[in-house]
């Protein structure tokens, strides 16, 4: 084999190593981002469910879930969002 063949082999070895390096850290980054998104979604779902749970000694919420009227549903959603924002500010 001549020098050109060794250079070609070394070039391809380096390309494969670089691709593996990029692939490994890309996969790690994707897993991290997915875990972060799942955690954020779980926290948001927990906060939404907390709105309807009455704590001991707490007054009943004025927000009620009625699915009979569309206008009431929109107003309830706005009220729920406002409650969630207030709870986030308290933390």
| 87 vs 67: CA distance, rounded Å | 25
For residue 84, which of 50, 58, 60 has the smallest C-alpha distance? 50
Residue 30 lies in a domain: yes
| 3 vs 1: CA distance, rounded Å | 7
Residue 49 lies in a domain: no
Q: pTM for the whole thing?
A: 0.41
Residue 10 lies in a domain: yes
Residue 16 lies in a domain: yes
Range of the domain at 21: 1-40
49 versus 45: the higher-pLDDT residue is: 45
pLDDT tens digits for range 50-82: 655 555 555 555 544 444 445 567 878 888 888
Residue 84 lies in a domain: no
Altogether, the residues listed in the chain come to a count of: 91
- Number of structural domains (the chain) is 1
């Amino acid at each position: 084999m001549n020098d050109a063949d060794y250079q070609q082999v070394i070039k391809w070895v380096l390309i494969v190593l670089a691709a593996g390096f990029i692939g490994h850290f890309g996969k790690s980054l994707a897993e991290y981002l997915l875990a972060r998104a799942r955690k954020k979604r779980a926290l948001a779902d927990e906060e939404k469910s907390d709105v309807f749970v009455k704590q001991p000694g707490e007054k009943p919420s004025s927000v009620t879930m009625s699915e009979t009227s569309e206008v009431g549903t929109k107003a309830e959603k706005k009220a729920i969002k406002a409650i969630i924002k207030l709870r986030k500010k308290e933390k």
